[in-house]
């Protein structure tokens, strides 16, 4: 490997993960990013009225995101995130329902008490939800219900509209980026099994303490730079071609360089544009990426003259708002504003709504949820919508996802849209980067995994449903 050059195109989490993995080996690594900063969709922006950076959208990880958390550990980013072991659900009447695991029970019954405390779900609904989870959990359910849409499956399982709206949608729309009438059963099962049924810590969430740009564009870049990774910011790659066993990369304003290895770590809608016709013919899956459905996520940023709640975050039921994150007091012009960010996934219905109208509607929902009287004054608002924030986890999506490795040694793809088995998340992006790195390393007869193992399956979950059996067979 020594002396071999690697070009990574795309400085999002997938590209960062590729760079981190390959930096453990004696490659010469060059990472090209079209924008000024790294992080991709996990980025931030600067506003003249606000001294600190503002994240475009709130990104969180869960305890089951072992590869993302492993990347953070290897790049010394752990202190950039706080770990929340208690979730907070606020029902339509403003009543808070804490959700926290038992201190001693094993998975999957570690959350049984927390589930019973969600009294906005009727007792009959709770029983039917538990029965549906039992039917969903065994590995055999993947084949049994392959190709099914989640909403259809829930109706078959006698789930009420109230339980679909207040339980299944609350979890799955945020995780999978699409309404339940579109998402696949297999993707939904992945969320519940890995997030709630597999391990005691899997449901916990990790929330950034500082702006994402400070995490990935500053600290992660510094650690990678110390390992010898060379960054080319504001250097869009125009095209890559293949000559004499090397990749010729055209970038920036007419610059060119050759590399023995090339990884494209860009979104699906950009990937086909990078490759020469000959290279593109070697990756037939790229001909179908225009069939991948994307889904928007809207983030509503509110600065108020007084605090609404002391809770660090909350999940809001029966409202437009889905998740709200409390970022505390922040400087705003010549005063102090209390900053809250509300995240709305699959926000197609908000297209065309004026930002001021939406912001005031969201503020009204927060006041109702937290019982804040008198209502705070809205100092400022901003609405950011990423129209292609995630791919929608539809039944057809899995067949459209390419593997990271290609038939040409030294050429790989990365990105959460590639075949990882995970939805469009930070974890999926990092896993794709590590799998792409493994594809490059196979060229040099190195076959050890570079990523992190999943959380182990609890003994009780193995006994009840055989979870983990499919992993041992792979």
Q: Residue ranges per domain, the chain?
A: 5-43+211-291+393-442, 102-202, 294-391
| Res 424 pLDDT > 80 | yes
| Res 208 pLDDT > 80 | yes
How many helices (DSSP H) and strands (DSSP E) are in the chain?
18, 20
Residue with tokens 């980025």: 43
| Res 100 pLDDT > 90 | yes
Q: Which two tokens stand for residue 267?
A: 């979104």
Domain at 294-391: CATH code? 3.90.660.10
| Res 256 pLDDT > 50 | yes
**Residue 3's pLDDT is what?**
86
Domains 5-43+211-291+393-442 and 294-391 share a fold: no
Known binding-site positions for FAD = 33-34
- Rounded to the nearest 5 degrees, what angle is found at the Cα of 151, between the Cα atoms of 145 and 153? 30
With a pLDDT cut of 90, the percent of the chain lying above it is 91
Domain at 5-43+211-291+393-442: CATH code? 3.50.50.60
User: Using one digit for the tens of pLDDT, what is the confidence trace for 385-398?
Assistant: 999 999 999 999 99
| Res 7 pLDDT > 80 | yes
Peptide bond into 406 cis (omega under 30): no
Q: Are 264 and 274 in contact (CB under 8 A)?
A: yes
**CA dihedral of 154, 157, 163, 169, whole degrees rounded to 10:** -20
| Res 326 pLDDT > 70 | yes
Segment holding 131, helix H or strand E: helix 123-136
For 261, other C-beta atoms within 10 Å of its C-beta total: 26
Could you give the CA distance from residue 33 to residue 301 in angstroms, rounded to a whole number?
Answer: 27
**Residue 50's pLDDT is what?**
86
Quote helix, strand, coil % in the chain, to nearest 5: 35, 25, 40
pLDDT band per the 50, 70, 90 thresholds, residue 471 = low
User: Using one digit for the tens of pLDDT, what is the confidence trace for 299-320?
Assistant: 999 999 999 999 999 999 999 9
Q: Average pLDDT, whole number, for the chain?
A: 95
User: Using one digit for the tens of pLDDT, what is the confidence trace for 169-207?
Assistant: 999 999 998 899 999 999 999 999 999 999 999 999 999
Tell me the chain's radius of gyration from C-alpha atoms.
23
pLDDT band per the 50, 70, 90 thresholds, residue 472 = very low
User: Using one digit for the tens of pLDDT, what is the confidence trace for 45-98?
Assistant: 888 888 888 998 999 999 999 999 999 999 999 999 999 999 999 999 999 999
Could you give the CA distance from residue 232 to residue 241 in angstroms, rounded to a whole number?
Answer: 19
Known binding-site positions = 33-34
- Phi and psi angles of residue 342, each rounded to the nearest 5 degrees, phi first: -110, 130
Could you give the CA distance from residue 215 to residue 325 in angstroms, rounded to a whole number?
Answer: 18
pLDDT band per the 50, 70, 90 thresholds, residue 124 = very high
**Residue 473's pLDDT is what?**
38
Could you give the CA distance from residue 324 to residue 207 in angstroms, rounded to a whole number?
Answer: 12
**Residue 470's pLDDT is what?**
63
* Strand order across the beta sheet in which 313-316 lies: 96-100, 86-90, 313-316, 323-332, 335-345, 294-304, 378-391
Segment holding 288, helix H or strand E: none
């Amino acid at each position: 490997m020594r002396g071999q050059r690697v070009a990574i195109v795309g400085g999002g989490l997938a590209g960062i993960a590729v760079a981190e993995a390959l930096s453990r080996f004696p490659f010469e690594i060059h990472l090209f990013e079209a924008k000024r900063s790294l992080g991709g969709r996990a980025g931030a922006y600067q506003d003249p009225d606000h001294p600190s950076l503002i994240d475009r959208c709130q990104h969180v990880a869960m305890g089951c995101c072992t590869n993302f958390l492993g990347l953070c550990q290897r790049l010394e980013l752990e202190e950039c995130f706080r770990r929340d072991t208690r979730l907070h659900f606020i029902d339509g009447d403003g009543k808070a329902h804490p959700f926290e695991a038992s201190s001693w029970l094993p998975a999957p019954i570690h959350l049984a008490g927390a589930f019973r405390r969600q009294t906005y779900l009727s007792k009959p609904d709770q029983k039917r939800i538990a029965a549906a989870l039992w039917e969903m959990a065994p590995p055999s359910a993947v084949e049994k219900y392959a190709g099914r849409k989640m909403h259809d499956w829930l109706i078959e399982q006698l789930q009420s509209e109230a339980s679909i709206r207040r339980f299944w949608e609350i979890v799955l729309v945020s995780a999978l980026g699409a309404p339940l009438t579109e998402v696949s059963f297999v993707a939904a099962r992945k969320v519940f099994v890995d997030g709630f049924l597999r391990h005691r810590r899997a449901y916990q969430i990790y929330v950034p303490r500082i702006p994402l740009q400070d995490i990935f564009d500053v600290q992660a870049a510094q650690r990678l730079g110390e390992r010898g990774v060379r960054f080319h910011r504001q250097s869009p790659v125009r095209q890559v071609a293949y000559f004499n066993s090397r990749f010729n990369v055209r970038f920036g304003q007419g610059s060119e360089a050759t590399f023995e290895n090339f990884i494209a770590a860009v979104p699906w809608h950009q990937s086909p544009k990078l490759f020469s016709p000959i290279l593109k013919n070697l990756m037939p899956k790229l001909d179908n990426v225009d069939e991948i459905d994307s889904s928007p996520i809207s983030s509503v940023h509110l600065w108020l003259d007084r605090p609404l709640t002391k809770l660090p975050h909350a999940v809001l039921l029966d409202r437009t708002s889905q998740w709200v994150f409390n970022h505390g007091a922040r400087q705003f012009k010549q005063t102090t504003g209390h900053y809250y960010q509300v995240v709305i996934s699959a926000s197609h219905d908000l297209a065309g709504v004026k930002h001021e109208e939406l912001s005031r509607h969201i503020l009204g929902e927060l006041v109702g949820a937290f019982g804040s009287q008198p209502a705070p004054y809205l100092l400022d608002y901003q609405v950011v919508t990423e129209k292609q924030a995630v791919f929608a986890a539809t039944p057809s999506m899995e067949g459209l996802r390419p593997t990271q490795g290609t038939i040409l040694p030294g050429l790989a793809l990365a990105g959460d849209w590639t075949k990882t088995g995970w939805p469009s998340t930070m974890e999926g992006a990092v896993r794709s980067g590590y799998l792409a790195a493994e594809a490059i390393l196979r060229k040099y007869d190195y076959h050890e995994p570079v990523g992190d193992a999943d959380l182990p399956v609890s003994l009780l979950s193995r006994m009840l449903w055989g979870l983990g059996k499919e992993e041992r067979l792979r």
